[in-house]
Amino acid sequence: MTQRAQMVRRFSEAGIRAVFAGHYHRNAGGQYEEMEVVVTSAMGAQNSGRGVAPDKSGYRIVEVSERELCHRYVEIERP
């Protein structure tokens, strides 16, 4: 098992509900058991990847409460 797979498994077993990462040059993510993995694109250059149109530059807002975790990506206008 890879080190990354071991860490994801440990996070999930510890009850972590979401993992956030960034600087991937596009938005991405997935699910591991009950844990959401969220990757936010870079604010600068965006890559299309696999024939998909690139995301616009932006940032992610994450709201955390005792009952829920909500997040959304906010695109920014570039001159």
**Rounded Cα–Cα distance for residues 39 and 51 (Å):** 19
Position 50 pLDDT exceeds 70: no
Decide which of 76 and 14 is more confident.
14
Please report which residue ranges of the chain form alpha helices under DSSP H. Answer: 3-13
Percent of the chain with pLDDT over 70: 87
Judge contact between 21 and 29, C-beta under 8 A.
no
Confidence of residue 24 (pLDDT cuts 50, 70, 90): confident
Q: Can you give the pTM of this predicted structure?
A: 0.76
